[in-house]
Chains A and B, each alone.
Chain A
Amino acid sequence: MSGGATAKTYTLPVGPVHVALEEPMYFRLDVEGEIVRGVELGAGHVHRGMEALALRRTLFQNIVLTERVCSLCSNSHPYTYCMAVENLAGMTVPERAQVLRVIAEEIKRISSHLFNVAVLAHIIGFKSLFMHVMEVREIMQDIKETVYGNRMDLAANCIGGVRYDLDEELTGYLLHGLDSVRGQVEGVHKIYSSDRMLLRRSRGVGVLGAADARELGVVGPVARGSGLELDVRHNAPYGGYALLGVEPVVERDGDVHSRAMVRLREIFVSIELIRRCVRELPGGPTTVLLPEIPAGEALARSEAPRGELVYFLRTDGTDVPNRLKWRVPSYMNWEALGRMMRDCRVSDIALIVNSIDPCISCTER
């Protein structure tokens, strides 16, 4: 490292505790001067044994446990888990509950995407833009706190339906909040697609071509940023999405900028979706009575903010599951980091890691 010899090869450890990483992950980089030539990933620093914990809890208690796997997609986990239980028991969720679930899911998606896009600005050192996007996200946080009662854990789902309902006052508040978020995100979208500093740091960085994306099996905004039309809401509609229909947002370049743009554009889609949900909200009950949960196996999948989330459940006729396993989107996406980081600069590592919006606590649970 000494003497300014740029061509010298050395090993650089990044993480697990590092200022530019939001969550603990370990990278062992082979670096040649400023350029990364090889990446090795190490994980396991936030393993909490949650799949084992789930086997010691009742099906009810696991709604709460899965909600606490990760804070940013904390609605997708109990939603998909409840769908798995419902699939197993052959329950039909009332339409009103299905649409209310979509509203909760999309509200969380908007906040999650805003958070990731904000962190992009934070990493490149554009702190004032970071603060601004986080302030826009604060409107979503207020919506969550007012409609659901908490800023992160919505507690919207229960087996067979939802635990909340919208009244006229809250619907008005929600729509008003979405209007102001939409206006603000339009401004943010303009900055992200035109600011020279942002473009110079994010265009052509961490490129993942469509062929590579397909080969590695990436999901969510990472896949859509590389031109793949992959969205569970579109490809295999579930719950309320089967009633509504969603068009996937796709960008072609496969770089850090593309992935950020997919997220920003998806915010507009989500806002439109919530507005439609509120407009077309069917009447009727919000839950169904719980039948006996039989012994058996069930699977459910959904589109979490980071991509496809899969839950597998096996029961033995008691109300404590025999096995509960989930495959999270970041598990598919972080394998692509090696491909994205090939021949990148050391200074871009944090930027590329953030661009897959990794959720380490989901993946290692």
Chain B
Amino acid sequence: MLDFLKILAGNVFKGPSTDGFPFTQAHTPRRFRGKVHLNPALCVGCTICRHVCAGGAIHIAERPDGSGYDYTLWHNTCALCGLCQHYCPTGALSTSGDWHNAHPQSEKYQWCERHFVPFLSCDGCGAPLRPLPPALTGRIYADNHVDAARLMRLCPRCRQIETAMHAREASHEAQSGS
């Protein structure tokens, strides 16, 4: 009993150990898994996030006119598991330290993140395409001496043609040079 009295006495001097929230800010660690955010500039529409999302909180729908796709992330359906962040190849999805998820009933259909991600048209044929973000392109073409920025503005078909043309030119140059 004496051992416990010591702890009690210690606690009296220590004071309360609870946070003063909402009157003071509650401490939120750096890695806290709060509300998920999408950076539309990095999204390439690969849909792996939708595939792994446990709650089915992510909707990706292409617009019928081919101008791009709508990305919707429903915060209330999100389980805050962080799988989308883990599997996203471009780092477009991230969990934030924002855990303030209380909202009035009237706002529940707005409690989501909506983004429109536009398609560009291919420089060669005009087909709609979603270019890879520069960081990823740099990684893919790290060992290649090609104009990656130009290639990324082409659809896969035009890219093939462009690369073939390049190869032909290079071999012509090599032949005339020798």
Which residues of A are interface residues toward B (Cβ below 8 A)?
57-58, 60-61, 63-65, 67-68, 128-129, 132, 135, 138, 145-150, 153, 155, 158, 163-164, 170, 187, 190-191, 194-197
Which residue of chain A has the shortest Cβ distance to B1 in the bound complex? A195
**Chain B residues closer than 8 Å to A150, beta-carbon distance:** 32-33, 80
Chain B stretch 1-22: residues in CB contact (< 8 A) with chain A:
1, 3-4, 7-8, 11, 17
Cross-chain contact A61 with B3 (CB below 8 angstroms): no
Whether, in the assembled complex, B82 has its beta carbon less than 8 Å from a beta carbon of chain A, the answer is yes
Cross-chain contact B31 with A146 (CB below 8 angstroms): yes
Q: Is the interface of A mostly helix, strand, loop or mixed?
A: helix
Cross-chain contact A187 with B7 (CB below 8 angstroms): yes
Cross-chain contact B52 with A149 (CB below 8 angstroms): no
Whether, in the assembled complex, B81 has its beta carbon less than 8 Å from a beta carbon of chain A, the answer is yes
**Chain B residues closer than 8 Å to A191, beta-carbon distance:** 3-4
**A/B pair count, beta carbons within 8 Å:** 71
**Chain A residues closer than 8 Å to B30, beta-carbon distance:** 146
The listed residue (B4, B8, B33, B53) touching A155 by CB distance below 8 A is B33
Cross-chain contact A155 with B31 (CB below 8 angstroms): no
Cross-chain contact A60 with B83 (CB below 8 angstroms): yes
**Chain A residues closer than 8 Å to B55, beta-carbon distance:** 64
**Chain A residues closer than 8 Å to B52, beta-carbon distance:** 58, 60-61
Whether, in the assembled complex, B67 has its beta carbon less than 8 Å from a beta carbon of chain A, the answer is no
Would you give 14 A-B contacts (Cβ < 8 Å), ordered by A?
Answer: A60-B51, A60-B52, A61-B52, A61-B54, A64-B79, A128-B4, A128-B8, A145-B32, A149-B29, A149-B32, A153-B80, A155-B33, A155-B83, A163-B86
**Chain B residues closer than 8 Å to A146, beta-carbon distance:** 29-31
Cross-chain contact B3 with A155 (CB below 8 angstroms): no
The listed residue (B3, B7, B11, B95) touching A149 by CB distance below 8 A is B95
Which residue of chain B has the shortest Cβ distance to A169 in the bound complex? B30
Give, as a whole number of angstroms, the nearest-CB distance from A205 to chain B. Answer: 20
Given contacts A163-B86, A187-B3, 12 further A-B contacts (CB under 8 A): A60-B52, A67-B81, A138-B17, A148-B33, A149-B32, A150-B33, A150-B80, A155-B82, A158-B83, A187-B7, A190-B3, A191-B4
Which residue of chain B has the shortest Cβ distance to A190 in the bound complex? B3
Which residue of chain A has the shortest Cβ distance to B11 in the bound complex? A132
